[in-house]
Structure 1
Amino acid sequence: EVSEAIKPVVDQITTEISTVVTELNGGAPSVVMVVGGGAKVPGFVESLARKMDLPLDRVSLKSVESTGLVEDLTGKVKGSEYITPVGIAYSAMRNRGSVFSQVFVNGVPVKLMGGVGRYSVMQVLIQAGYRFSSLVGGEMISFELNGKTLLRPKRRTSVKILVNGEEANLSSRVKHGDRIDIQTEEEKTPLRIKDLVKPVKVKLPDGEVEEILPEIVKNGTPVPPDADVEEGDVISFPEKIKISEIKSKISYGKTRIVVNGEEKWISLVNFDLLKGGVPLKDDKEVPLGEEIDLVEKGRKTLEEALEVPHITVSFNGELKKIPLKILHRIDEERVELKDFKPMVIDLLKDLKLDGLKDYELLKNGRRAMFTELLEDGDVIEFKVKK
């Protein structure tokens, strides 16, 4: 009857403990050591094991005998219930009679018990009633990242900490009499995928750094790097990026242009990507987090940047590239590309033919006409007869 009567309270307490432990640990722990006589309440350890999803043998009570701090001359000081009074006695001894230290948090005194004499700001703030989640990012969410289950704050928190007027952080140490001033502000920006992925950093000629991220899949669907991370998401991405992909993603040297009414971003710069001064081939894979350098090799024409198709023919022994589309610039941002069918006569436009009386025109060794269409690889010969 007693066990049934206290069961709801035990359930509530162990739920709160498991929540705080998970927050402080950044995930479920492997083993839990319970300290204090209160844990001997019937069903407490079993309930805590269930809440932590741990086998019962992974949750155990720490007894005073295992501390190594006490030599029991009476033979009566045994069990976990003696941990607290022995701890107080030990603290009193180590602190020369003072069991408690006092630290001020935003002007409010906080008493700390223990034998360490110095504490971290985090320890003091937890003792003062701050929740771990409020210090590192509010509500925690669980998700899968490349096969690993992670626990992270849903939103980042901005924490400003001063100890005795000087800038500090959650790991800074404080002692009796110190004053902590803290301001916390939760950022409106939620946790995003790009916060979890290390980019490849490309150092540009102007000294700036451009960060390149791989293709990212969330719950089976490709998403942009700034997509939010939600509870239960399954996120995956490659651990390496090919140089060819990095080149396609780099914004350096790119400009916006409208081609036949369609907006495009094109690069007007030829460049190499280097690691340690060595050029990297397009099929080379670079691990995330690497740093590489971009070195310019010159500028591209608009036709080259738009990758206008062309054919190559031989004219009187000289190779010539002829575009299959004609580019017409409307203004600074708009151009038109129109199909173009090159003819033999297009090769003669730069020749001075005034007073021409007789000639020989051959295409691939056969007599040809000026209006014949050209194809890739054609060999054209034009000779003036005297």
Structure 2
Amino acid sequence: MTDSTLTKISPHEAIFSLDIGTKSVVGIIAKKEDEKFMVIDVEMMEYSSRAMYDGQIHDIDKVAQVAKKVKEKLENRLGFKLTRVAIAAAGRALKTCRVQVSREIDSTKEIEQGTINSLEIEGIQKAQEMLDNKISSKDTKYYCVGYTVVNYYLDDNMITSLKGHRGDKIQADILATFLPHIVVDSLYSVMNKIGLEVIHLTLEPIAAIHVAIPPKLRLLNLALVDIGAGTSDIAITQDGTVVSYAMASIAGDEITEAIAKEFLLDFDTAERLKVELNKKDSHTFEDIVGIPYTMTTEEIVDKIAPVIEKLAFEIAEKVIQYNGKSPSAVFCIGGGSQIPTLTKYLADKLGLRPERVAIRGTEIIENIEFLCKQLEGPEFITPIGIGIISVKDGDDNFIEISVNEELIKLFNTKKLFVSDALIRAGINAKRLIARRGKNLNIYINGQIKTIKGSFGEPAKIYLNGKLSSLDEEINHKDQIKIEWAIDGVDASISLKDLIKDINSINFNGLDIHLMNKLLVNGKEVPMDYKIMDGDHITFEEIHTVEELLKRFNVDYQKTIVRVNGVEVEKAYRLKHKDEIVTLDRKAAVSVNENKVENNKIKVSINGQAIEIPKKNRELIFVDIFDYFDFDRTKVKGILIMKLNGKKVGYTDPIKNGDDIEIYWKNN
């Protein structure tokens, strides 16, 4: 790069991005000119000793020293200080958990999107709990940066979409991805140590996808595989965003080790040979004992083919595991992606055509121009992507949202919705959907019966004062307020209400149900007894006049039975609301044979004198209820009936001067 090139950029237009890698730090200076991303200068420096492991900074001072040297070299050539920077967190630092969540729902209502979103939030929170339990260090905190629903289920059957359906139970298999706070914190610590303000933070897979996969392709189900030295990081795209992440713990170093073992080379020599495999057709080298080799690339690759195939197999296995199937295509980046035959094996393992597994280098980046030596190869996709995505997204790498007056920050890597804010705020999804009241499961004559609890009221979510939903998009400074769901009432019923639907009749003025020997768990209980879960209710059903008379110890041979005013036989089958009156046969005959001179008889009922008109039959005890006000419809205990101090039945005759007592006795 010439000095004249450097004079073409001023401090206020300089875009400075740093890629803090596992083995090195890459710094890029660029500027935006119209629609083009102009790369002005580049500096790369390796660590003298290991300072990072799998994307996590372990030695902040060592990383800061190298990053500072990269920064200073760029500053010296630019002629001004760099104060602002764009960075990325390593995808390999992410953790992924898969969970299944389920919920009972109201089968009479269509499933709404809010219910689905709430189920997904519950899954993410369950995944968070699982992750927290797995992590040995309780100081490491994670938060969700993306998730995907692998499968939905309705009443235990897999279904593509739940919305609009009806059923009793919904389920979801959810794959949630979390970023440890320490990754972000350590990156910020390094930047603070070297005097840089972070103006944009993204994830490495997102930065890579931004430049490796054009926007028109991002709606497709694609996999981006970044094959580094120690790990192969995988990101899955769908519907325009990164939906899940994975990592295969095998990468370029495995190939280097295989070459070293096969040809008896030290690691550095094997690494150089590996890098040259995709650059030259013939290679000359010596092993550690001085034996010279001259071999073609094809010959070397054939010797280590099993290891290359193993690398492809493990990557393919992870892609399918986290995507649920083979994607439409795979894009490979990173230095390790250049290993000959790797993409062919990967296509075979995924069942894709070879052209659908492609290596992406800097040449595919749209609207980019190099004013310095051009960076070539897939290993520079991520460093350039960090700078480009910072220009696209501007400074809004975090947005601030208020949830029930508590301020939270969200990592702004995609479209964000109310549900994302609630997840970040730690809102319990169970408080958003009303819990149905508990059911009562009881047994009636051996048959199970479920008395359902009532449905409650779902939560109300307000976004900036307006009634909203979980899938409403949110922006910086938005305010969310939640009125929590109100749970339904548990099922509750008394014995009296439980049997009210059983057929009833009026027998000699008394309303009764057509049942006998009503027991709860084998015992007699009062009618106001509150039914308990698991209770066994038993009774004998009364079907005929004969069975009814047996219940009240009435001899059919001595009795005339009238149903709704018509005399019937003992085999008559009783119906709901029948009115039954019984008469003593002899008394009825006697009345018909003898004329009665007086028109009324006088009796004392509970000390009150009552006159009862005579009929064309003998008067019986039940007749008193036509002339004496006594409510028998509301049971208040045991009904006591006495005639001249003795117990009496409904059909016993009464005569002039009788003393009658009738009252309820408490149990």
Tell me the TM-score normalised to structure 1 length: 0.28
- The structure where helix makes up a greater share of residues is 2
Tell me the TM-score normalised to structure 2 length: 0.17
- The structure where strand makes up a greater share of residues is 1
